[in-house]
Amino acid sequence: MSQLQVSIENGQILVISINRPDKMNALNIALIAELGEVLAKYDDDNAIRGVILTGVGTKAFAAGADIAEFAHFTADEGENLSHRGHVIFKVIEHYPKPIIAAVNGFALGGGCELAMVCHLRVATANAKFGQPEVNLGIIPGYGGTQRLVQLIGKGRALELLMTADMITAEQALSFGLVNHVVRDHADLLPKCTEIINKIAKKAPLAIAKIIDSVNAHFAHNRDGFAAEIQHFADCFLTEDFKEGTTAFIEKRSATFVGK
């Protein structure tokens, strides 16, 4: 049975909701695999201009990897769990359309890592963030030791990772872990939709190149500046570049087609 709810809003936003509310939307192996499959299905669909990833209910975005599932794992099984998660998280990180984590409650452990791998994060005021793995005798296995440092800096990241402290949405906002905080749950998806609608008015190929150029900064085997130069040059080959510059000169709004 599907553990994700999937819908398309306004014909252009893919909304994926983690649907295990009775288990605080804990992430099991099948659910992560399903997430990868859903994203793969839409990655070259030109109609889809962005993705919102959220959790069903008002309590949890995802309270971590499913502890019951891995409690008896061997080291090999643990490595496999982490490795497979990393593969799908990389799909999210490199997705050519913006993915926003709409954090509707607890984002702990793998849930915090899942929010962090999305391109942007919007949280409700009741959301809580943390990496409590050390309480279980383990460390984050879905990129938390790396992406938390990227987002909030080494000192703050080490403190959260070693103390297992939870932080509020407001603290997460002041740390730069989230982009926006909304007061009520009812405002969460509208705020994410507003952001995607704004991005959807821009040239889609340029948006994909922004995502890749920024990711290149964090890839040890790539030169981010070189990636930017190449992507910048490639923009000049696109119809959208001609449309954007022509529209500016003609003092009208551009209509981009993603070519």
Residues with catalytic function: 113, 133
The answer to whether residue 26 forms part of the interface with ligand COA (CB under 6 A) is: yes
The answer to whether residue 85 forms part of the interface with ligand COA (CB under 6 A) is: no
The one segment of 31-39, 101-109, 209-217, 225-233 that binds ligand COA by CB under 6 A: 101-109
Please state, in angstroms and rounded to a whole number, the distance separating the CA atoms of residues 51 and 225. Answer: 27
Quick one: which of 15, 16, 24, 115 contacts ligand COA (CB under 6 A)? 24
The answer to whether residue 169 forms part of the interface with ligand COA (CB under 6 A) is: no
| Comparison of 18 and 92: residue with beta carbon closer to ligand COA | 18
Quick one: which of 52, 108, 205, 211 contacts ligand COA (CB under 6 A)? 108
| Comparison of 64 and 143: residue with beta carbon closer to ligand COA | 64
The answer to whether residue 216 forms part of the interface with ligand COA (CB under 6 A) is: no
Cα dist from 247 to 171, 210, 259, whole Å:
42, 21, 16
Query: Least CB distance from residue 42 to ligand COA, whole Å?
Result: 27
Rounded to 5 degrees, φ, ψ at 107 are -125, 90
The answer to whether residue 63 forms part of the interface with ligand COA (CB under 6 A) is: yes
The answer to whether residue 66 forms part of the interface with ligand COA (CB under 6 A) is: yes
| Comparison of 15 and 63: residue with beta carbon closer to ligand COA | 63
The answer to whether residue 64 forms part of the interface with ligand COA (CB under 6 A) is: yes
The answer to whether residue 65 forms part of the interface with ligand COA (CB under 6 A) is: yes
The answer to whether residue 106 forms part of the interface with ligand COA (CB under 6 A) is: yes
Cβ contact 4:52 at 8 Å: no
Quick one: which of 8, 30, 40, 67 contacts ligand COA (CB under 6 A)? 67
| Comparison of 133 and 212: residue with beta carbon closer to ligand COA | 133
Tally of CB atoms within 10 A around 225? 11
| Comparison of 50 and 109: residue with beta carbon closer to ligand COA | 109
Quick one: which of 34, 133, 212, 240 contacts ligand COA (CB under 6 A)? 133
Cβ contact 142:110 at 8 Å: yes
The answer to whether residue 109 forms part of the interface with ligand COA (CB under 6 A) is: yes
Query: Least CB distance from residue 139 to ligand COA, whole Å?
Result: 9
DSSP the chain: ---EEEEEETTTEEEEEE--GGGTT-B-HHHHHHHHHHHHHHTT-TT--EEEEEESSSSEEE-SB-HHHHTT--HHHHHHHHHHHHHHHHHHHT-SS-EEEEE-SEEETHHHHHHHHSSEEEEETT-EEE-GGGGGT----SSHHHHHHHHH-HHHHHHHHHH--EEEHHHHHHHTS-SEEESSGGGHHHHHHHHHHHHHTS-HHHHHHHHHHHHHHH-TTS-HHHHHHHHHHHHTTSHHHHHHHHHHHTTS-------
- Contact set with ligand COA (CB under 6 A): 23-24, 26, 63-68, 106, 108-110, 132-133, 135-136
